Amino acid sequence: MRRAILALTLGLALGLPAQAFASGATVVHGWRVNLDGDAHMEHVRLMLQLKPNPFGGTVPIRQHWLQVVDRVGGRTVKTRITPILEHMLPRFIRIADLNTDGRPEIFYRGFNGGAGAVPVFAGIRGWDGTSKHRFWSYAPPYPPLTHGGHHYRYVGASVTLENLAAAATPGLEVHLVQGEARPADPDCCPSQLLIRNYRFDSAARSWVLYQTVWRPT
């Protein structure tokens, strides 16, 4: 049976009640974690802001993003560390020491739209006390591809963190499965799965691609 590609669910802990801000944004979930290894905790906040529908609908468009709140030099610093996305839920976030370097990193996933080949966004971010670090990113555009003499287009993706034996490294790997459809295929039913696996490279300070597999559905 063919697989429709969409979504993952990654659970994480400690929630905070929603809080309103003067800008109209609210905190819908929060985590307290020491990201930079100093003497105090930072706050990671999942934010939500509603904006009018530019297409004339009555239902507002939801905008989510993650921000880090820290005390730097005696003042509060708020830094957005993800794209602004329509759909991002607490269970799409994981905060843990993903590469066994002794500090936690932030994994996020989200998407825009609700039908067809929805654009999926994902990434791993770190915070050093003054700035964010991009360990890995996944975002559009997704270019058309050619494999086995056939042309394919993106029709969705799933992203998970896994401890893959093939990586032969400690920590967690990024397991990215992208649906690829031929021109005549519907978005629901890709002909091929493009599987790409990434592992942490300490020299590059990033997750790097080490395995690519095409698999028919």
What is the spatial distance between Cα 45 and Cα 134, in angstroms, rounded to a whole number?
A: 18
Lowest-pLDDT range of 13-27, 97-111, 192-206: 13-27
Name which residue leads in pLDDT, 8 or 80: 80
pLDDT at 79 over 60: yes
Instruction: Quote the pLDDT of residue 72.
Output: 87
pLDDT category at 152 given cuts 50, 70, 90 is: very high
Summarised one tens digit per residue, pLDDT across range 169-198 is: 999 999 999 999 999 999 999 999 999 999
pTM for the structure as a whole: 0.86
Instruction: State the DSSP string of the chain.
Output: ------------------EE-TTS-EEEEEEEE-SS-SSS-EEEEEEEEEE--TTS-SSPEEEEEEEEEEEETTEEEEEE-S--BSB--GGG-EEE-SSSSSS-EEEEEEE--SSSSPPEEEEEEEE-SSSEEEEEEE-S----EEETTEEEEEEEEEEEEE--GGG-SSS-EEEEEEEEE-TTS-TT--SEEEEEEEEEETTTTEEEEEEEEEEE-
Q: What pLDDT does residue 59 have?
A: 85
For the cut 60, the answer to whether the pLDDT of residue 20 exceeds it is no
Token digits of residue 7: 């979504």
Is the predicted pLDDT of residue 22 greater than 60, yes or no?
Answer: no
User: Rounded mean pLDDT of the chain?
Assistant: 89
Nearest to 87 by CA among 104, 109, 111, 65: 111
Query: Where do the domains of the chain lie?
Result: 19-216
Residue 4 has pLDDT above 60, yes or no: no
